[in-house]
Amino acid sequence: MTAQDVRTVADPDDISSNPSGNATFREVAQARMSRRSVIRGGTVVAAAGFLGAGVGTGTAAAAPERHGGSKPRPLGFKAVPAGTADAIAVPEGYTAQVLIPWGTPLHSRGPQWRKDASNTAAEQAAQVGMHHDGMSFFPLGAGPLGSRQGLLVLNHEYVDQVLLFPDGDAQMTKAKVDKALAAHGVTIAKVVQGKDGWKLADSRYNRRVTGSTPVTFSGPVGPDHPALQAENPPMGTLNNCSNGQTPWGTYLACEENWNGYFGTTDAAWKPNAQQARYGVAANSGYRWHTVDPRFDVAVNPNEINRFGWVVEIDPFDPDSTPVKRTALGRIKHEGATVTESRGRIVVYTGDDQDGEYVYKFVGSAPWRQLRALRRSPLDHGTLYVAKFNDDGSGEWLPLKHGTGPLTEANGWADQADVLLRTREAADAVGATKLDRPEWVAVHPDNKDVYLTLTNGSGWNNAVNPRKPNPYGHIVRWRERGGDNTALTFEWDIFLLAGDPEYDPRVELAAEDVFGSPDGLGFDRAGRLWIQTDVSNSVQNRPDRQHDNIGNNQMLVADPGTGEIRRFLVGPRGCEVTGFAMTPDQRTLFVNIQHPGEATPFWGAAPTPQNPNAVSSWPDHDSASRPRSATVVIRKKDGGVIGT
């Protein structure tokens, strides 16, 4: 969700730009849902899912699901009730500490945060960015030390221009664009645990990657590719939503709703098919194009081709240039979840828009072997897109030039062309439309893959078991033989989110209702952490059947038993996102994004005169404004989180 989405209330992610006739996931999932039961009141009941009685037999089992390889993991805390307070709520026995809110100087001698948002672009570039999102923790040191200090690397997805500038964004200027660019991107910050909790520490590693940082390209769409040539040098990463972490110690920042930054005032400009497929339009809510030709698609048409990629950043080399890894495709990447199988890396990535697809990249050789040859494991491999069949099976379809319909005769010039037009290539091979694919998480033991489908608008080709699907659901699959490089899988629905008061198909207990699952992560013990992003357009509203759900939140599920429990409730107007734990599992970092964003339930929208109209979290200072921040969660007894 972006700031301009709020102004129009409807979330453009809910509007499909996929005109293909591919089978929708709704069509296949309805058949599946009719043959199985889902989790009921903390107990898993009869099911014919892939973890239960066998897929495709058509016989419902009377025995409980086995959830092979997923041992029960007791949840040892008392559930947090749903709430609407302008505060963080965590279970009894836990603490929540605010760390590195937007505007925090990255170095102790850096520019101090100004409560009236009057920091300049240059100052913002030396401070923590706005709207924290996906995040990873890189330990500094081995053993216990690595759980007490590390590099926290986090994305800054977008900016709220009403809150970013003292006078709001009614007038757009080049200086404002520069500050907005500086508030985007990634923060790399050394954090250490002290007697009074975690704090930011001075370090040569501390740095920002912003919308203006020099970047380069690698893979089939290399830096010299004609489609990447523009008036300005390649720079910047934008709308970094979720993330990934490679086994060789780098960070992956994903570019999601990049199209929204581009526009034009040229009335004669019309998007071509490729641009339209990515939602590039003349109107941009940010209006940067009105003062900066870099963002004018009519003036600088190739700049858009530099966005929509997965960006690799080496947090341990402050001088390194971020690299856009083009072999992973060009979509609206939600995240890039990395796992390993037979020594090869596998990267799962959702394309978050209604009616889009889920992809995976499989390395061509063991990653250690490629690294030994000084080749990036992210440059050598095959990108696939998922097809979900209605018998519970699924297959990964290669997006490989010369394979299937992706031939020169059909207008596909080469592999670079396939990747620049990844969405169209996926249309051509017959991928299955999904209901806004967001995060992917891979179970640490049995390697099952879980995917949040956050919600759907109910448009004519709606893509889930419910139409409309305002609450979203979680799908999971098991790759053949538990091998994540495999090209076939068996899938199932883990749960339908929502409120049984309004939708009897929802089998969550009344005290555990939630909507719009988005962030997703496993801890080392195999507990599944679920973070929610209910749109502010419906949050808390009885007339939109979200009154029992409360503010956005985080829950934890035991995939072995199906038990679900609410763990955290965020302040007003926020979403909860970003999931990182220390290796000892005793510190959990999560992000609170866009507290205080315009929320119809709370009435007046924030203005430059009253930025705290919805929330004043975390400062609760009338002279300040709401700020995204990382929250550090610990058990008071120092124990493992969730136990």
Residues that bind Ca ion (CB under 5 A): 518, 533
Site size toward ligand FEO, by CB under 6 A: 7
Q: Among 5, 303, 351, 438, which residue sits at the site for ligand FEO (rule: CB under 6 A)?
A: 438
Q: How far is the CB of 352 from ligand FEO (least distance, A)?
A: 4
Q: ∠ at Cα 194 (188, 196), nearest 5°?
A: 110
Calpha distance 554→77 (Å, rounded): 14
Binding letters toward ligand FEO, positions 348-387, x by CB under 6 A: ----x-----------------------------------
Q: Residue 243 has which token pair?
A: 């993330």
By CB under 6 A, residue 435 contacts ligand FEO:
no
- Sequence-distant (6+) residues with CB within 8 A of 319 are none
| Cβ proximity to ligand FEO, 157 vs 340, nearer residue | 157
Check residue 334 for interaction with ligand FEO (CB under 6 A).
yes
Residue 70 gets which letter from DSSP?
A: -
Choice between 241 and 632, CB closer to Ca ion: 241
**Contact, 68 vs 482, CB < 8 A?**
no
Q: 508-527 mask for ligand FEO (x: CB under 6 A)?
A: ----------x---------
Question: From the CB of 340, what's the least distance to Ca ion, in Å?
Answer: 24
Enumerate the H helices of 478-581 as residue ranges.
Answer: none
**Nearer CB in complex with Ca ion: 536/624:** 536
Considering the complex, state which of residue 18 and residue 376 has its C-beta at the smaller distance from ligand FEO: 18
Binding mask 459-498 for ligand FEO (x = CB under 6 A): ----------------------------------------
How far apart are alpha carbons 478 and 492 in whole angstroms? 9
Q: Should residue 507 be labelled a site residue for ligand FEO when binding is judged by CB under 6 A?
A: no
What residues numbered 222-281 form the site for ligand FEO, per CB under 6 A? 241, 256
What's the length of the chain?
Answer: 643
Query: Considering the complex, what minimum distance in angstroms separates the CB of residue 187 from ligand FEO?
Result: 17
Q: Which CB, 472 or 600, lies closer to Ca ion?
A: 472
Find where tokens 């063991």 sit: 366
CB of 460 to Ca ion, least distance (A): 22
Q: Could you tell which of Ca ion, ligand FEO, none binds residue 256, using a CB distance below 5 to 8 A set by kind?
A: ligand FEO
C-alpha distances (whole Å) from 100 to each of 57, 189, 191 are 53, 9, 9
What is the DSSP pairing of strand 449-453 with strand 381-388?
Answer: unpaired
Q: Which of 5, 11, 157, 160 binds ligand FEO (CB under 6 A)?
A: 157
Q: Collect all residues with Cβ–Cβ distance below 8 Å to 219 and sequence separation of at least 6.
A: 325, 326, 327, 328, 376, 378, 379, 419
Handedness of CA 215, 220, 221, 222 (dihedral sign): positive
The whole-angstrom distance between residue 580's C-alpha and the CA centroid of its chain comes to 13
Between 14 and 533, name the residue whose CB sits nearer to Ca ion: 533
Question: In what helix (H) or strand (E) does residue 132 lie, and over which residues does it extend?
Answer: strand 132-139
Rounded Cα gap, residues 464 and 625, in angstroms: 38
Give me the least distance between CB of 58 and ligand FEO, in Å please. Answer: 35
| CB nearer to ligand FEO: pick between 241 and 549 | 241
By beta-carbon proximity to ligand FEO, the closer residue of 334 and 340 is 334
Contacts of 356 (CB under 8 A, 6+ apart): 16, 18, 331, 332, 350, 423, 433, 434, 436, 437
Side chain identity, residue 466? R
Binding site for ligand FEO (CB under 6 A): 157, 241, 256, 334, 352, 438, 518
